[in-house]
Amino acid sequence: MVGIKAEPFAFPVKHDELALIVIDMQRDFAEPGGFGASLGNDVSRITRIVPDVKRLIQGFRNAGLPVIHTMECHRPDLSDLPPAKRDRGNPSLRIGDEGPMGRILISGEPGTAIIPELAPVKGEIVIEKPGKGAFYATELGAVLQQKGISQLVFAGVTTEVCVQTTMREANDRGYECLLAEEATESYFPEFKAAAVAMIRAQGAIVGWTAHVDDILESIANA
């Protein structure tokens, strides 16, 4: 077995137990008028990674490996939205409010959807998650177990919030985690850099990091 070139050392890939998990590549985080923009963020940072996320997804599809998408969103009646989340910060639009792309981060609304270039295809699993971590209050753990997955490649946004939280949840549950560096982004470049560094520090304490090209080369030869 040849590992994927990664930091801090080669990722010991098992192609038959590997899945890609694409975190929250939603219009609400990537387009003007969405939740990310309502918090005052420069959303163009997020759209810039779309080509790299797309070729990573395509590589997994071509190799016949599972692609799982997540969406941060809430029920229309907000019963899964604690006040501690809704009332945080000072956004121009809060979760559940009516915005230019429908109600902010509400299941089924146009702005909550995954951006069209990265839309799931038939048969791909989409996990709707009310929290930062994709394991909290979702079926993700059961889905991975049913598919026999033990290793996860991570892409998506934002690196230091939902991506890192999910990687930590996965690590605690025994999954080996690899972050695709060009396929993740933050509204704050310094936060992405810090998250990448802390994930792979101390001998991959949370997981590994690798370049998209190296991941694609490995799965193409699987």
Residues 121-160 that bind ligand C5J (CB under 6 A): 157-158
Residues 161-220 that bind ligand C5J (CB under 6 A): 161-162
For the four alpha carbons of 34, 35, 41 and 43, in that order, the dihedral sign comes to negative
The least CB distance from residue 110 to ligand C5J, in Å, is 18
Q: Which uninterrupted H or E stretch holds 91?
A: none
How many whole angstroms separate alpha carbon 30 and alpha carbon 115?
A: 8
For the four alpha carbons of 139, 141, 142 and 145, in that order, the dihedral sign comes to positive
Alpha-carbon Rg for the chain, nearest whole angstrom, is 17
Beta carbon nearer to ligand C5J, 66 or 130: 130
- Does 21 sit near ligand C5J (CB under 6 A)? no
Residues 81-110 that bind ligand C5J (CB under 6 A): none
73 is catalytic: no
- Does 43 sit near ligand C5J (CB under 6 A)? no
Beta carbon nearer to ligand C5J, 10 or 191: 191
Cis peptide before 82 (omega within 30 of 0): no
The least CB distance from residue 158 to ligand C5J, in Å, is 4
DSSP letter string, 140-159: HHHHHHHHT--EEEEEEE-I
Q: Closest by alpha carbon to 138, among 107, 110, 113? A: 107
Among 7, 24, 128, 169, binds ligand C5J (CB under 6 A): 24
Among 7, 31, 72, 185, binds ligand C5J (CB under 6 A): 72
List interacting residues with ligand C5J (CB under 6 A).
24, 29, 72, 157-158, 161-162
Residues annotated as part of the active site: 24, 129, 162
